[in-house]
Structure 1
Amino acid sequence: MHVGVYVDAHPAVAEQARLLEAAGFDHVWVYDSPLVFSDPYMALLEVARATDRVLIGPGVTQPDARPAYATAQALGTLAKVAPGRVAFGIGIGNSASWSVGRQPATLDEMHEHVRIVQGMLRGETVEHDVGGGRRAPLRFIHPEGRWLDLSRHVPTWISAFGPRGQRRAGAVADVVLIRWEGEQRVREARERLAEGARAAGRPGAGEDIGIGTVYCVYPIEDEAELETDEARAALGPMVVSRLRYLTANHAHADEVPAHFRPGFTAYQAHRATLDPVERHLDNYRGYLVHTPPDLESFVTPETMRTVATIGSAAEIADELLAMRDAGVDHVTLQLAGPPARWCRRMGEQVLPLLR
């Protein structure tokens, strides 16, 4: 099983990327949220130049962020700098959509984006919609030379949490990202991917499609660490992010997992106090990087445990090994806490137990 990490896009990301590669991680993904972080592809260029081994890519982009040909251009450019190390991560959108006041894209819109990007990265001519009921051919005019590298396959990682999305991903994805909810859910996802692959006439019925998941771990050496400001600063953004996601996508507490319901109800009440005109902006303050002062009350040892596996190196390794044994091929972790300390603990204490 390969283990990677998500980081936020910012100009100094190279330092984090070097730490992650040195710690032994296999891939580094950069968030793509236009109003929240820096430009992801500028950040990924810094990651590419700072590393030699890890797989890199947007984690994940979405079809409304930029035209498909611009996504293909960015990935082809990265491939020139980091040949054989670039992946194309995409979903329908979460923070990138909600933070600009839009609904996430539809599956049709996402798959149209994927079709164009994949075709262009293969050096093909593809059609795209230019408006007014017209379609026009599209391809890279200078596919060789100093601009792009189209000689290597860029794997497509699709975020698909629901059954319909997983079936459709089976037609085109190299890796599909699902929620970690145990071995049974992994088996069900594989069955749906196989259905989609067979329906699309894909060779091997999708047996080569990888399963990935997103997770958060926080290694501690003593339970008292959970009461520290450092732990709250590390995991608070994950708590608030989960509550924001749930309240944006669900109307009632009984629609969310039981252990999230108290927090869901409290955050829903907080959300109702925000100006509805600008709520989409206020709702992403500190997203995944810090906890706004007025939301710190939501961060407790109990809520922190709902969003992360917290424990000794052995306990965290056991959870990750359970994912591997259940059929997960890739797990990508949220970087939680001071990067140097988190990377040191993960690299020295946890990752060796997975090899």
Structure 2
Amino acid sequence: MEFGVVLQNDPPASRVVDLARQAETHGFDYVWTFDSHLLWQEPFVVFSQILAATRKVVVGPMVTNPATRDWTVLASSFATLNEMYGNRTVCGIGRGDSAVRTLAGKPSNLATLRESIHVIRELANSRAVEHNGRKVQFPWSRGSALEVWVAAYGPLALKLTGEVGDGFILQCADPDVASWMIRTVRDAAEAAGRDPDAIKFCVAAPMYVGDGDSPAARAHMREQCRWFGGMVGNHVADIVAKYGQGSQVPKALTDYIEGRQGYDYNEHGRAGNSHTQFVPDEIVERFCLIGSPREHVEKLQALRDLGVTQFAGYLQHDNKDETLRMYGERVIPAMAEHVVATA
């Protein structure tokens, strides 16, 4: 299993770069950031600094969208970073959430998402593509390589992911939910004539390492991560509005939003926000990774058994540095393949 860290582009950008550098030191493979240009700083500027300060990590947005970003500009940004730093980028993309809703917009439809994935991938892989009625290509790009990973929840979006995605991003670490969604993506890939094993499966969720045996410490960890249930609830609410409560989406994902009363994007993704008290403790425990290193390893092993190839941990809480350190010293080594010098 590979490991990623998900950061917000809060100023100062130097702190984001420092956390990315720490992540690489502690054995993480990917550094992702939010992409919501009103709420946080511009990610592609920060990506260039992260790549310059590190040697191996792959960087990308979790996630960008085809509504607020011009597709050709996105592809050019990825291809430019690849030329500068050696193919160390990945594109996470979805229909759009905070980046579009803060501008009173709506998420893109799936046809637009599908087309944008094709255009971005072809251009950023140094290939020509038909776009707006003409054939276009970057004449300066040689050898750029980019994978496009799709973030999805609903049945039709999962089907699209299986048909066109290089990877699947699930923002929820509940094994029951992950099992259904991974199976849905794999079935769609197989029906489309693709190799399901070629698709990468990334689970993204808050990670907080602390004293899992102390009731007070555990309650604090839950409060620091409760925001995530609210963020996931935005997407779930869209699914329920479209498909209804009796849809094929697991009840583990849909039932908890019954008490949802709205959402303030000014507090999007922030610990201690004022509008996620409807999220019960059980959901925080199921959707996130909190507690001792042992508890993290146990849950990661369960996710790996389901086919998850990367865990990307959100660090939107008050224990960033220590959580990175404990992952580097205890969690990532425990998940690594055991190799001996002699046999």
| 2:217 aligns with one of 220, 225, 247 | 225
Query: For the aligned residues, what is the CA RMSD?
Result: 2.7
Amino acid at match of 2:9: A
Contact 1:125/1:137, CA 8 A, preserved across alignment: yes
Distance change (3 Å), C-alpha of 1:167 and 1:188: closer
Distance change (3 Å), C-alpha of 1:341 and 1:298: farther
For residues 249-307 of structure 1, the C-alpha deviation after alignment (integer angstroms, 9 at most, x for no partner) is: 53587778666778634432xx3xxxxxxxxxx72122113333x43755775553253
**2-structure distance, mates of 1:341, 1:163:** 37
| Cα offset, 1:83, TM superposition | 0.8
> Which residue in the other structure is 1:279 paired with?
none
**1-structure distance, mates of 2:108, 2:288:** 28
Distance change (3 Å), C-alpha of 1:299 and 1:55: same
Amino acid at match of 1:250: V
| 1:240 aligns with one of 221, 230, 237 | 230
Contact 1:244/1:283, CA 8 A, preserved across alignment: no
Farther off after superposition, 337-346 or 66-75:
337-346
**1-structure distance, mates of 2:100, 2:186:** 28
Does residue 334 of the first structure (1) align with residue 337 of the second (2)?
A: no
Q: Secondary structure at the match of 1:105?
A: coil
Aligned positions of 1:93-104 closer than 5 A: 93-104=96-107
Q: Secondary structure at the match of 1:127?
A: strand
> Which residue in the other structure is 1:317 paired with?
297
> Which residue in the other structure is 1:3 paired with?
3
| Cα offset, 1:57, TM superposition | 0.9
Distance change (3 Å), C-alpha of 1:156 and 1:225: same
**2-structure distance, mates of 1:261, 1:110:** 24
**2-structure distance, mates of 1:42, 1:235:** 27
> Which residue in the other structure is 1:159 paired with?
151
**1-structure distance, mates of 2:245, 2:153:** 19
TM value normalised by structure 2:
0.83
Aligned positions of 1:108-147 closer than 5 A: 108-129=111-132, 135-143=133-141
TM value normalised by structure 1:
0.81
Amino acid at match of 1:216: P
**2-structure distance, mates of 1:22, 1:115:** 34
> Which residue in the other structure is 1:169 paired with?
161
**1-structure distance, mates of 2:234, 2:163:** 31
> Which residue in the other structure is 1:307 paired with?
287
Q: Secondary structure at the match of 2:40?
A: coil
**2-structure distance, mates of 1:167, 1:58:** 22
> Which residue in the other structure is 1:274 paired with?
none
Contact 1:232/1:300, CA 8 A, preserved across alignment: no
Farther off after superposition, 248-257 or 26-35:
248-257
| Cα offset, 1:187, TM superposition | 3.2
**2-structure distance, mates of 1:85, 1:8:** 19
Contact 1:232/1:299, CA 8 A, preserved across alignment: no
* Structure 2 portions without partners, runs of 5+: 337-343
Contact 2:245/2:254, CA 8 A, preserved across alignment: yes
Distance change (3 Å), C-alpha of 1:304 and 1:328: closer
**2-structure distance, mates of 1:86, 1:104:** 24
Contact 2:205/2:228, CA 8 A, preserved across alignment: no
> Which residue in the other structure is 2:266 paired with?
285
> Which residue in the other structure is 2:61 paired with?
58
Does residue 89 of the first structure (1) align with residue 92 of the second (2)?
A: yes
Q: Secondary structure at the match of 1:61?
A: coil
**2-structure distance, mates of 1:168, 1:242:** 20
For residues 125-184 of structure 1, the C-alpha deviation after alignment (integer angstroms, 9 at most, x for no partner) is: 32222xxxxx233222433xxxxxx41421121223334333333343221224552545
Farther off after superposition, 164-173 or 45-54:
164-173
**1-structure distance, mates of 2:245, 2:190:** 33
Contact 1:194/1:207, CA 8 A, preserved across alignment: no
| Cα offset, 1:110, TM superposition | 1.1
Give the number of aligned pairs.
Answer: 323
Q: Percent of aligned pairs with the same residue?
A: 25
Distance change (3 Å), C-alpha of 1:34 and 1:165: same
Distance change (3 Å), C-alpha of 1:265 and 1:56: same
Q: Considering only CA atoms, is the larger Rg found in Structure 1 or Structure 2?
A: 1
